[in-house]
């Protein structure tokens, strides 16, 4: 839609909401693509994910501009203002998820040149599936305005953190076992960390979506299991 189109207030709100859905769908596709590219060493797919990030950035700029213009021009009251501000924040997190998926995709080449131990692929895949489920889930729950579901989904981030700690420790042992694993494992370490951070952005989105839907904040202190910053395996 061109910027000179005259839109009603509701149409403007719907435009912002549609952009969030688009960005949500794209972030799910990018995460799924990056994981598949990583686990199957698919360079062409990895390139697609990298290219998708440009679309994501353009969508965010569109949303940001639409939302700010809407606030300045329409002076929306409480609930609508909450929805628009919430959309700006959710868009920020969705854009970051796209960025992290792109970063995983960019590492496909470096990882692919070393044989990855089979068990390790399994652990990373398990973590990736948890993350992908969260990314897709949070967008669906926001679209369906399911407050309770968003609350439960936020709590599930803990599972990702636990799986990340397991992958982190496993990668360290592979590196210690054989120096030839170090380069690939280092890149996989960053991929796993990126997946864990995608989980954190999903948490932010769940919190903002909950606020948009209910008008109240979820309690701040989600139990955060972040063990790897202090992990020193024997």
Q: Which residues bind its own copies (CB under 8 A)?
A: 64, 68, 71-73, 75-76, 81, 85, 92, 103, 106-107, 109-110, 113-114, 172, 175-176, 179, 182-183, 186-187, 189-190, 193, 226, 229-233
CB of 187 to its own copies, least distance (A): 7
Pick 132 or 172: Cβ nearer its own copies: 172
- Residue 1 neighbours by CB under 8 Å, 6+ apart: 7, 15
Contact 134, 199 (CB under 8 A): yes
CB of 140 to its own copies, least distance (A): 26
Alpha helix (H) residue ranges in the chain: 9-40, 43-74, 78-106, 108-112, 118-143, 147-155, 157-177, 182-214
Question: Which residue, chain included where needed, has tokens 């299991």?
Answer: 225
Pick 6 or 232: Cβ nearer its own copies: 232
CB of 146 to its own copies, least distance (A): 25
Pick 100 or 213: Cβ nearer its own copies: 100
Pick the closest to residue 124 from 157, 183, 171 (CA basis). 171
CB of 3 to its own copies, least distance (A): 15
Pick 100 or 141: Cβ nearer its own copies: 100
- Residue 23 neighbours by CB under 8 Å, 6+ apart: 56, 59, 60, 63, 91, 94, 95, 98
Pick 141 or 191: Cβ nearer its own copies: 191
Pick 121 or 183: Cβ nearer its own copies: 183
CB of 144 to its own copies, least distance (A): 26
CB of 149 to its own copies, least distance (A): 25
d(CA 178, CA 95) in angstroms, rounded, equals 37
CB of 4 to its own copies, least distance (A): 17
Contact 189, 116 (CB under 8 A): no
Pick 67 or 141: Cβ nearer its own copies: 67
Contact 211, 82 (CB under 8 A): yes
What number of CA atoms fall less than 13 Å from residue 89's CA on the CB side?
18
């Amino acid at each position: 839609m061109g910027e000179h189109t005259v839109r009603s207030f509701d149409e403007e709100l719907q435009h912002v909401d549609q952009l969030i859905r688009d960005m949500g769908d794209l972030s799910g596709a990018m995460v799924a693509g990056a994981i598949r590219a990583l686990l199957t060493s698919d360079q062409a797919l990895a390139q697609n994910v990298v290219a998708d990030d440009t679309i994501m950035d353009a969508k965010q700029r569109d949303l940001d501009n639409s939302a700010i213009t809407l606030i300045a021009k329409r002076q929306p009251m409480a609930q609508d203002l909450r929805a628009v501000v919430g959309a700006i924040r959710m868009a920020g997190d969705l854009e970051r998820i796209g960025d992290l998926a792109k970063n995983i995709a960019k590492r496909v080449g470096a990882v692919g040149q070393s044989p990855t131990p089979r068990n390790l692929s399994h652990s990373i895949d398990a973590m990736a599936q948890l993350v992908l489920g969260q990314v897709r889930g949070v967008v669906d729950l926001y679209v369906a305005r399911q407050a309770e579901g968003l609350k439960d989904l936020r709590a599930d981030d803990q599972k990702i953190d636990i799986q990340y700690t397991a992958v982190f420790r496993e990668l360290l042992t592979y590196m210690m076992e054989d120096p030839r694993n170090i380069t690939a494992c280092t890149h996989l370490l960053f991929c796993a960390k990126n997946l864990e951070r995608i989980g954190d952005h999903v948490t932010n989105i769940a919190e903002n979506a909950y606020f948009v839907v209910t008008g109240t904040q979820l309690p701040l202190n989600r139990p955060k299991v972040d063990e790897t910053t202090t992990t020193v395996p024997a």
